[in-house]
Chain A
Amino acid sequence: MSDDKKPTAPAPSAAAPASGVPATAPAPIAGAPQSTSKPGAAVPPPPPAPGAKPPPKNPGMVTFTVDGKEVVAKPGTNMIEAAKQVGVEIPYYCWHPRLSIAANCRMCLVESSTSPKLVPACQTAIAEGMAIKATSAKVQEQQRAVMEFLLLNHPVDCSICDQAGECKLQDYYMRYDHKSSRLERISGIEDGPGMKVLRNKRKVLGPTVVLDQERCVLCTRCVRFMDEVAKEPQLGVFGRGSHERIDVHPQFGELKSNYSGNTVDICPVGALLNRDFRFRARAWFLSAAPSVCTGCSRGCSTFADFMGQDTYRYRPRENEQINKSWMCDQGRLSYKSLNKGRVLQSVIGRGADAREAGRAEAVKYAAAKLKPLVGSVAVAASPVASNEDLMAGLTFARDVLGAKSVYVSGRPAGEADHFLMMADKNPNRRGLESIAKALGLNVEKFEKLSAAVEGGQVKALYAIGAEMPDAGFAAKAATLELLVLQATNEDALTAQAQVLLPASTHVEDEGTFTQEGGITQRFRRAYPPKGDAQPHWKWAVELAKEMGGSLAWSSSREVFRMVAPTVPELASFEWDKQAPVNIKQGISVPAASADGRPPGWREFGAPRVKGI
């Protein structure tokens, strides 16, 4: 999934994706003993070239041909990647650029001038003068044969398989096989079920992952991921021969890792499935927006897969500098807050007086309340908000509300782990701090605000984002005379607001985050804001306008263009160029089907059928 066939955006702010083979790629060793294994051993080693080798055609590089096309590649590159350079696709299941080489699927076999047998392209490094045939009749026949082998015991229950639409078995079947199975049918029944090896169709591996052992092609990608990347070797291959299956090592009991979701991503077929996403949506109805995970300050690059105005899942997007091809489960599931528990309607008044209001009314009301307090309104900003939101919001705070400092709110710190997950659960602390500094605002700790509210020194607060590090703050906020709060999601504090303005989430607008390492990343809008929500920057602009300020921005892009040049950390960021544009477009769902819902649709919150 994330490794190959999905659009991979160039990593924001530089760095091309990796192209080298992992260092573990075994290159044939000259003069090594030939295979001494029983029958296969009769292959004579290729005769050594008589005389001295001619010098390489391109010094420092390896020159060879693929289907007659000349390729120049770095030494050590494997055939799959080298062939890709000239647009020749060699199919593969088990190979993954970020895992060790297993060469067990045998899908990538090609003809090479250096060997009498077919060679696995994933395992074989290119050599000077080598001629590879990747699409010859012999190779195609072998690809067909491997597909037939893989599908022999495969249930082919694509109609109920979540992987359908993004399944390598399906894709390659159409491209390389396209024949019906020759497996023996149960006698007498022409269209009856074949005599397939049956295994466990629903093996719950752990809290996040479920396995269909019948669909597994035993590529061992999942096992290698857990061993080599997550460094939590919990999965293994059990049994032997065609009864082999993937399972959790007994000593672990269940697959319990913050990175287990990645095994689902790299599983080339529908064997490993995410229990959260299972039976939620058909892949072809989902569109993908390049996005960024807001789960912690690492800021993993993601795709937000969405349909209509709902996000269905996050998938990691390749980014060499930040998350390679992975993301953590905590972040992966953080998409849920984009759909649930949202503030979608402006509310004015507090407690018994509270009532819903339109946007215009709410802005008018807030402006009227804020105006007399200009100069004494405290300002809190959450590092969950984007750079654009903060640039606009803090400019409004400084220029219109007369603020001198900003209190940094945000989610409380949590646990960090050995790989990607950071303790700071806010995606944009670096951005917030640099923007505040550039605007000449003092960056103040939240505890100070908390104490000042308690002590009564602060009576009015304008807050961008409702995330607060201190759970008890909501109670203290009840004593505030005025709380104007822009919030994406409901929580204790939203109930205390005099003016509650619904803010959009990052998937509902364009923008950028600056993660803990200082890398700024652009995210794309998936769908328009839900309900009455609108971005923080837009609320700030409207409040400013109402209060006689001069902010007149009409898009987040404009905010960035106007303000970012004054922020050193953002000045050189090329907002337009950094945007990954190759969004995957899902099939647009027909307006309605028999029951009035589009096909493949399942509302969030619909009761789950027991036992799935």
Chain B
Amino acid sequence: MSLQHPVEKIVTRYWPHKDQNTLKGYKSRGGYQQLAKALGQEPAAIIDAVKKSNLRGRGGAGFPTGLKWSFLPKDNPKPKYLCINADESEPGTAKDRFILENDPHSLLEGIGIACWALGAHTCYIYARGEFKHPSAVLDKAIAEAYADGIFGKKLLGKDFELNVYQVRGAGAYICGEETALLESLEGKKGWPRLKPPFPAVVGLFGCPTIVNNVETISTLPALFEKGPEWFANLGSGKSGGNRLVTLSGAVNRPGTFEVGMKTTLKELIYAEEYGQGLPPGRAVKGVIPGGSSAPVLTADELGVAMEFDAFKPLNSMAGSGGVIVMDDMCCMVRSLWRVVRFYAEESCGQCTPCRDGQPWMTRILRKIEEGRGTREDLETLQHVATSMAPYPPIGLGNTICALGDSGALAVHGFMKFKREFEQHIEEKRCPFGERPWGAFGDFQ
């Protein structure tokens, strides 16, 4: 299968160069020129350009980045902060880590541009605790940038102080939620905050703060190199640029790929440059399109483009770009159980529906998978999910943060495969027996 819309690579374009993660290599390909250019412009003009480019947050919500930046109060005398969310822990997602490993200076240059635009003199990069190698690469890159006079008292020689710090998390998924991230940065337990106020108004240490994903910010140098109009045109609709997705599950060539906003899920799974289809004899049963929180799609729904708004009519979402393919030999009960167990494990425990609902759903799913389930259990499961977050549409959650929605949305989504759940109940066993993982389980 070939692509209908060829993709001009921007984020991953220099990844094949092994020295791209060094300052020398990065500079040899035009690195830090966009920062120098940006420093010659008015901050307001940069924010406008970002707005025009239709750049949207790659952390999961797809929120327009320029718009988010413009919420930063102008007249607040407190310092402003930029926080980079490198906590990437959504199951099925592994894109930020490759940016950090392959092209850390694109993030740092993006940080320079963003901080100049936002008037922030401090930037914290909050990296996932398990990121041993990516963090080491990033630390080296930061040190190089300081040594080269890029960061510090003067940003690239301009009279604008910027300090960049990397902070390592301790391995909690919830600390990727932006307000939990701020709490964690402040040295507290990673409990999401109540909103409003939003971080742009009251954020880190009570000061105005912008939280952005690694991919979002590391896109900025390319965006300014080619211009916002070009960037907007590259995308489609209200989503500018390309995006990184992580393809996993029952495909021949799993991996992290740069796709266009017009690329469809089908193309991603079957195209030669991407997934190269499923192992012989297998067909798609379901695809999780944006990290395990995103409601699953059926094989009939794969014509959807990978653009942020395109998922809305399907009541799913582009999320963090974690695409998980499940083939026809994969047990959906088992898969859902695994997904919900993750959220039960990672719930911060602050609010009641998530704290008690996620483990309860896990227990019910286990019961069904083990052949002990009843029809009432299936009803209870849906009932519990609805109490946590009614669906559709996405976004009606009754909890403090969206992790509560995540488990519930997974359950709601998997109800497209309700027949399989009923089969487990009727047969009092898992029809897939000892091999519930489909093609994925065939790998040695």
A370 to B215, CA, bound (A): 95
Chain B residue, CB-CB nearest to A220:
B350
Are B363 and A241 in contact, with the CB atoms below 8 A?
no
Given A39-B395, A39-B406, is A183 in contact with B353 using a C-beta cutoff of 8 Å? no
Are A104 and B350 in contact, with the CB atoms below 8 A?
yes
Contacts of B57 in A (CB 8 A): 36
Contacts of A244 in B (CB 8 A): 349, 355
Contacts of B404 in A (CB 8 A): 40
Q: Which of B71, B347, B383, B389 contacts A33 (CB 8 A)?
A: B71
A34 to B387, CA, bound (A): 23
Q: How far is the CB of B440 from chain A (nearest CB, A)?
A: 24
User: Is residue A118 within 8 Å, beta carbon to beta carbon, of the partner chain?
Assistant: yes
Contacts of A105 in B (CB 8 A): 351-352
Contacts of B293 in A (CB 8 A): 38-39
A183 to B345, CA, bound (A): 19
Q: Which of A115-152 contact B (CB under 8 A)?
A: 116-118, 123, 141-142, 145-146, 148-150, 152
Are B194 and A32 in contact, with the CB atoms below 8 A?
no
Q: Which of A29, A104, A148, A217 contacts B196 (CB 8 A)?
A: A29
Q: How far is the CB of A187 from chain B (nearest CB, A)?
A: 7
Are A217 and B60 in contact, with the CB atoms below 8 A?
no
Taken residue by residue from 175 to 192, chain A's Cβ proximity to chain B (1 for < 8 Å, 0 otherwise) reads as 000000011100100000
A141 to B386, CA, bound (A): 10
User: Is residue A43 within 8 Å, beta carbon to beta carbon, of the partner chain?
Assistant: yes
Are A145 and B71 in contact, with the CB atoms below 8 A?
no
Q: How far is the CB of B179 from chain A (nearest CB, A)?
A: 8
Interface centre among B201, B402, B403 (most CB of A within 10 A): B402
Which of B12-20, B61-69, B100-108, B146-154 makes up part of the contact surface?
B61-69
A150 to B192, CA, bound (A): 20
Are A106 and B352 in contact, with the CB atoms below 8 A?
yes
User: Is residue B393 within 8 Å, beta carbon to beta carbon, of the partner chain?
Assistant: yes
Contacts of B398 in A (CB 8 A): 106, 109, 117-118, 142
A145 to B388, CA, bound (A): 9
Contacts of A150 in B (CB 8 A): 352, 356
Chain B residue, CB-CB nearest to A144:
B387
User: Is residue A14 within 8 Å, beta carbon to beta carbon, of the partner chain?
Assistant: no
User: Is residue A41 within 8 Å, beta carbon to beta carbon, of the partner chain?
Assistant: yes
Taken residue by residue from 325 to 346, chain B's Cβ proximity to chain A (1 for < 8 Å, 0 otherwise) reads as 0000000000000000000111
Contacts of B63 in A (CB 8 A): 33-34, 36, 41
Are B395 and A41 in contact, with the CB atoms below 8 A?
yes
Q: How far is the CB of A504 from chain B (nearest CB, A)?
A: 48
User: Is residue A591 within 8 Å, beta carbon to beta carbon, of the partner chain?
Assistant: no
Contacts of A36 in B (CB 8 A): 57, 59, 61, 63, 68, 178, 198, 211
Contacts of A243 in B (CB 8 A): 349
User: Is residue A240 within 8 Å, beta carbon to beta carbon, of the partner chain?
Assistant: yes
Are A240 and B402 in contact, with the CB atoms below 8 A?
no
Q: How far is the CB of A124 from chain B (nearest CB, A)?
A: 10
Are B59 and A241 in contact, with the CB atoms below 8 A?
no
Are A116 and B352 in contact, with the CB atoms below 8 A?
no
Q: Which of B26-57 contact A (CB under 8 A)?
A: 57
Are A38 and B364 in contact, with the CB atoms below 8 A?
no
Are B349 and A237 in contact, with the CB atoms below 8 A?
yes
User: Is residue B197 within 8 Å, beta carbon to beta carbon, of the partner chain?
Assistant: yes
Q: Which of A431-451 contact B (CB under 8 A)?
A: none
User: Is residue A28 within 8 Å, beta carbon to beta carbon, of the partner chain?
Assistant: yes
Q: Which of B61, B355, B394 contacts A241 (CB 8 A)?
A: B355
A36 to B194, CA, bound (A): 13
Q: How far is the CB of A86 from chain B (nearest CB, A)?
A: 25
Are B196 and A32 in contact, with the CB atoms below 8 A?
yes
Interface centre among B59, B71, B344, B350 (most CB of A within 10 A): B350
Chain B residue, CB-CB nearest to A217:
B352
Given A43-B396, A104-B351, A187-B372, is A37 in contact with B61 using a C-beta cutoff of 8 Å? yes
Are B200 and A33 in contact, with the CB atoms below 8 A?
yes
Are A29 and B201 in contact, with the CB atoms below 8 A?
yes
Q: Which bucket holds chain A's interface residue count?
A: 35 or more
Q: Which of A40, A141, A183 contacts B360 (CB 8 A)?
A: A183
Q: How far is the CB of B176 from chain A (nearest CB, A)?
A: 8
Contacts of A103 in B (CB 8 A): 194, 351, 400
Interface centre among A106, A145, A183, A217 (most CB of B within 10 A): A106
Q: How far is the CB of A31 from chain B (nearest CB, A)?
A: 7
Taken residue by residue from 443 to 482, chain A's Cβ proximity to chain B (1 for < 8 Å, 0 otherwise) reads as 0000000000000000000000000000000000000000
User: Is residue A21 within 8 Å, beta carbon to beta carbon, of the partner chain?
Assistant: no
A239 to B406, CA, bound (A): 21
Q: How far is the CB of B48 from chain A (nearest CB, A)?
A: 17
User: Is residue A200 within 8 Å, beta carbon to beta carbon, of the partner chain?
Assistant: no
Tell me whether chain B's interface is mostly helix, strand or loop, or mixed. loop
Q: Which of B90, B312, B360, B399 contacts A106 (CB 8 A)?
A: B399
Q: How far is the CB of B52 from chain A (nearest CB, A)?
A: 18
Contacts of B360 in A (CB 8 A): 149, 152, 183
User: Is residue A35 within 8 Å, beta carbon to beta carbon, of the partner chain?
Assistant: yes
A243 to B346, CA, bound (A): 11
Contacts of A118 in B (CB 8 A): 396, 398
Are A241 and B401 in contact, with the CB atoms below 8 A?
no
User: Is residue B319 within 8 Å, beta carbon to beta carbon, of the partner chain?
Assistant: yes
Taken residue by residue from 374 to 417, chain B's Cβ proximity to chain A (1 for < 8 Å, 0 otherwise) reads as 00110010011001010001111111111111100100000000
Contacts of B195 in A (CB 8 A): 35
A34 to B350, CA, bound (A): 21
Q: How far is the CB of A3 from chain B (nearest CB, A)?
A: 20
A184 to B291, CA, bound (A): 30
Contacts of A241 in B (CB 8 A): 344-349, 355, 358-359
A243 to B68, CA, bound (A): 36
Are B402 and A41 in contact, with the CB atoms below 8 A?
yes
User: Is residue A26 within 8 Å, beta carbon to beta carbon, of the partner chain?
Assistant: yes
User: Is residue B320 within 8 Å, beta carbon to beta carbon, of the partner chain?
Assistant: yes
A184 to B358, CA, bound (A): 14
Given A38-B402, A109-B398, is A33 in contact with B352 using a C-beta cutoff of 8 Å? no
User: Is residue B189 within 8 Å, beta carbon to beta carbon, of the partner chain?
Assistant: yes
Q: How far is the CB of B209 from chain A (nearest CB, A)?
A: 11
Given A39-B405, A117-B398, A195-B363, is A29 in contact with B59 using a C-beta cutoff of 8 Å? no
Are A37 and B396 in contact, with the CB atoms below 8 A?
no
A103 to B351, CA, bound (A): 8
User: Is residue B177 within 8 Å, beta carbon to beta carbon, of the partner chain?
Assistant: yes
Q: How far is the CB of B331 from chain A (nearest CB, A)?
A: 20
Are A40 and B395 in contact, with the CB atoms below 8 A?
yes
User: Is residue A153 within 8 Å, beta carbon to beta carbon, of the partner chain?
Assistant: yes
User: Is residue A101 within 8 Å, beta carbon to beta carbon, of the partner chain?
Assistant: yes
Chain A residue, CB-CB nearest to B68:
A33
Are B200 and A39 in contact, with the CB atoms below 8 A?
no
Q: Which of B247-302 contact A (CB under 8 A)?
A: 291, 293-294
Q: Which of A33, A35, A187, A197 contacts B402 (CB 8 A)?
A: A35
User: Is residue B317 within 8 Å, beta carbon to beta carbon, of the partner chain?
Assistant: yes
Q: Which of B201, B355, B403, B406 contacts A242 (CB 8 A)?
A: B355
A218 to B354, CA, bound (A): 13
Taken residue by residue from 265 to 290, chain A's Cβ proximity to chain B (1 for < 8 Å, 0 otherwise) reads as 00000000000000000000000000
Contacts of A41 in B (CB 8 A): 60-63, 395, 402
Given A32-B201, A241-B348, is A104 in contact with B400 using a C-beta cutoff of 8 Å? yes
Q: Which of A26, A34, A146, A187 contacts B352 (CB 8 A)?
A: A146
Given A38-B406, A117-B396, is A184 in contact with B364 using a C-beta cutoff of 8 Å? yes
Are A40 and B356 in contact, with the CB atoms below 8 A?
no
17 A-B contacts, Cβ less than 8 Å apart?
A33-B198, A35-B402, A36-B63, A37-B61, A37-B178, A37-B192, A39-B319, A40-B389, A40-B397, A101-B194, A117-B396, A117-B397, A118-B396, A152-B356, A241-B347, A241-B349, A242-B356
Chain A positions within 8 Å of B, measured between CB atoms, are 26-29, 31-43, 101-107, 109, 116-118, 123, 141-142, 145-146, 148-150, 152-153, 182-184, 187, 195, 197, 217-218, 236-237, 239-244
Closest A-B pairs by Cβ, 10 of them: A40-B402, A41-B61, A145-B387, A38-B60, A43-B395, A244-B349, A149-B356, A42-B395, A37-B402, A36-B63
